[in-house]
Structure 1
């Protein structure tokens, strides 16, 4: 997959053993390279890791900034990794962290960074970490207008869907592992999410002033917005969240409170009933809550 925004600097951290030399860059263990926005870098490279005496790399997908000549997929690939898109609102107080992994198949992600900028976002820092056969890319993003982290649930959902759409575009083989591959990919998932993925909802105390809401369910467009809307309807405040899209499954965590305190047993039950009602209607194809 590819993606790109104009960056003041982009810090690429590669941890490999032994060091790997890629496209003229010699990445040693725990090294950091600053990429200048005033120099020209080809997006046609992919990070891979070296194990023993051979490079573990099943395919390389090329992608350009303008989307031309975007595909180059080996037909010999049988094992498709699970795509993971994680939006982390907790770790960094001043930036929203977006983490993306798709086995060892991710390239420079120039087009994804550009798509994030088109949403009015600035990628202030990025890291790429290779461990074994898995490459994880993290973007630290803020609002271009204010330099602050993203708080709007609507924009967080747009970020998630933008990244998944780019994944489907530049890695079409991922459609068989993503819920949205059913409608937008070249190959629908083999499993039907409404039949194979049950919904789990848990609420527990996370200190005296907030509770932790954990939801695991089938992924779908607009899921985050619906969950936040349901909580707003019962006057529950979302303080922070971690939105994890793992293939066909959404695994979301919300730190929530009610009038500055953790949810009591009655309010927790009300919230769980509302959420179950929404998920049940979604599974049966009725109008959303």
Structure 2
């Protein structure tokens, strides 16, 4: 069952790329311990590090591969923190899962993030870095090491998402103020607390005769993607593809779904919405799931 694309866009204050700051202090957690992984292929090949650079050149320092340059005042002021965004896209490329990150212009070369993805049994085939206004966007094209194909397992997609957020908290600890996981593992918990009942919005729309578009917006938490996929499967609905976005404290996900090869009728759409709303609004997430 072909699955989806997730994305994470991360926006922050402007940082100079000509100088790199010393490596930030270690994260208060160890990503491998937080994200127990299944056994992966023993013969892992080195991830390709060839980056195409468009309008921006990124260099890594020897002392801190993910470190960034010394900060300068942004247009919003020295205390301004951009919104971190992570996006996972399964639709744009037929051969690879695309992961896009943004955090203002604070992201460095992200070599440690690439290595962390490799530790999941994945291959980063290529990457691109582009700058749009004050935001620098880094995009990875990811495939499985064992098959060379895109990632379709929802559990692995969630591991990818959490691994990237783990690294973001490690190398940019200030991002914890804008991330749900920052409350448990960051240097400063988010000041804004989302009420899951208020933050949750679920809609099903027509998307042609053979599929429907399911849109879910809710408070982010670890394991959310896997939980959503399980609930959809329990209603015997197929997920054909998706885009998974993490925008700060909010998860915004879009799924192309079908039932026995056809779009969902109004009755089945309402059943799906009711099930998702019930379970998402009553999280039973344990700290170990981080």
TM-score by length of 2: 0.77
**Aligned pair in 2 of structure 1 residues 166, 73: CA closer, same or farther (>3 Å)?**
farther
Q: Alignment partner of 1:282: what SS?
A: coil
Call closer, same or farther: CA 1:13–1:73 in 2, change over 3 Å: closer
Name structure 2 gaps, 5 residues minimum. 1-22, 25-44
- Is contact 2:68–2:108 with CA below 8 Å preserved after alignment? no
Q: 1:127 to 1:284 in 2, by over 3 A?
A: closer
1:1-289 matches, cutoff 5 A:
6-8=46-48, 10-15=50-55, 43-44=60-61, 63-64=64-65, 77-194=78-195, 198-282=199-283
Find the aligned partners of 1:234 and 1:90 in 2 and give their Cα distance.
24
Gaps of 5+ in 1: 17-21, 24-41, 46-61
Change (3 A) 1:271 1:233: same
Partners of 2:196 and 2:155 in 1: how far apart?
Answer: 28
State the 1:116 CA deviation: 0.4
Choose between structure 1 and 2: higher strand proportion.
Answer: 1
Residues 236, 257 of structure 1: 8 Å contact kept: yes
C-alpha displacement of 1:282: 2.1
Give the TM-score taking structure 1 as reference length. 0.77
Conserved? CA contact 1:179–1:193, under 8 Å: no
Q: Match of 1:174, SS?
A: helix
Partners of 1:63 and 1:170 within 8 A in 2: no
Distance 1:14 1:134 in 2: 13
Deviations 1:69-122 (A, max 9, x none): x68875974111000000001111110000000000000000000000000000
Root mean square deviation of aligned Cα: 2.6
Q: 1:234 and 1:203 mapped to 2: Cα distance?
A: 14
Higher relative contact order (CA 8 A, sep 6+): 2
